[in-house]
Amino acid sequence: MNDQEQSLTGSLKEHLRGTENGTSLFLQLMSRSTRDKILAVKAILMIIISLSSLPINVLNMLVFRKLGLNTNTNINFFALSATDFCIAILYACMSCIWLDMCGVVRLPVDMTNAQYLPGAPIVVISSFGSWITAIINVERCISVRFPMKVKQIFTRKVHTVLIVGMLVLQLCVMVSSMAVVRWDVISPADSARPLAVLSISDTERSAYVTLLFWGSTLPAACCFLVIVLTSAFLVGSLRHRQAWLASLPASLPASLPASLPAQRHHSMDRNRNLAATVVAISAIYIACFLPGMAIIGVFFAIPSLETSAMKTCRWF
């Protein structure tokens, strides 16, 4: 038996021990039947949300493509829709594996041990989406604070370098992290169906986690802080500006053009819509990422929890 077969056999034995003896985190905290019920509800909700978001993101991409990818705003929202579309597909795949784990459906191959495989792509794509959201917020803040200089700061060249540079970095992180993972489909004699088995050594696992943390998780955490701060600044600035516009006199001197009142109301409506859009995007982003950022903060505050979690979870 060669080294690769021995490694895969070891991973298979570890997978079977984790399944039979209940060494996973969930099975230590609750019974298998309770875990299956919770996992089934989680998987059903996740797959409904994921599948329902697919046509929405496709329509968003088509709309922004039709509007033309000739402005930074359209490019940013097109990229956000594309990232959400990819993440929805990955979560739908994970939900199918979870449904198989709790016995709701039965896949041709037992993918229990491979459920963590989409983890790296999800982290990478989420980090790229965080970068795009941070760019949107920073650009909007500059447009409020320095409206005459925003186009000079965020030129097409600068914007392209920011987007493409982060995309290339995250693709390199994903390819490098997935390269250390080996997986195969094995048909054990005592199993009714083949098993998808992941194989990774302790050194490779350490490199995998380190690469994802420094290449994707840490940049996403920095973007999270930027989004929180810029959102607070942007909302406060836009409210102040709306109050200033509302305080302007309704009647203007006869020497001024008659179209100015209409232009003023149009500007107020435009700023109000812009504020609502930015606040909605930022609020959804913060609500989705806050639990993960809180877990990272706890691990930083109590390093011993990270070691305990590494020992408890089967793969990470």
The domain segmentation of the chain, as residue ranges, is: 3-30+108-243+263-312
Q: Across the 316 residues of the chain, what is the mean pLDDT of every consecutive 10-residue run?
A: 49 46 53 81 91 92 87 87 92 89 84 80 91 89 79 84 92 87 76 77 81 88 90 80 65 51 54 68 82 74 53 38
Residue 297: per-residue pLDDT: 72
**Nearest alpha-carbon partner for 87 in 131, 51, 126:** 126
Q: Provide the pLDDT for residue 277.
A: 75
Residue corresponding to tokens 């406060």: 236
pLDDT, residue 269, reads: 59
From CA 300, how far away is CA 142, in angstroms rounded?
32
CA distance 125 to 28: 31
pLDDT of residue 23: 41
CA dist 176 and 220 (Å) reads 18
CB of 305 within 8 A of CB of 295? no
Q: What is the model's pLDDT at position 315?
A: 37
- What pLDDT is recorded for position 308? 45
What per-residue confidence (pLDDT) applies to 13? 47
Query: Cα(84)–Cα(59) distance, rounded to whole angstroms?
Result: 12
